[in-house]
Structure 1
Amino acid sequence: MAASKVNTKIELQFGDKAVTEDQLVAAAKKAYGKKDIKSLDIYVKPEEGRAYYVVNGDVNGSFEL
């Protein structure tokens, strides 16, 4: 029996802000600025007001939340 797909929503809430998974992914892609993304890891640090990303296991950067 195949596992059924579960619709999920992830929203990070901190202070008076809220950011969704889709918003984080879009912001990381925009900050990276290229189309050659095979993998994308995002690490959110609300206390710093920043998110850090790693593209394709070797290119990294950050953006403001």
Structure 2
Amino acid sequence: MFDGVANWWDKAELWLAQLWFPLQFVLVIAVLGPACLGAAWLIDRIVDQVAAWFRPGRDEDYPAR
């Protein structure tokens, strides 16, 4: 099974390496663009959740006078 995956990957890599450079660029941007946007969105959500844990509660916002 692994040999089949390795052979497929070798053929796909060779096909991509032999393409005209502007076409390679477009394919990489079409794949990595959405992947990077999705990763950035996920990281943003995680940082918001972690920051919410360390944010003071409503009672702590305004100390008693």
Shared fold per TM-score greater than 0.5: no
Task: Decide which structure has greater helix share.
Answer: 2
* Structure showing greater Rg: 2
Q: With a CA cutoff of 8 Å and minimum separation of 6, indicate the structure with the bigger relative contact order.
A: 1
TM-score (norm 1): 0.29
TM-score (norm 2): 0.29
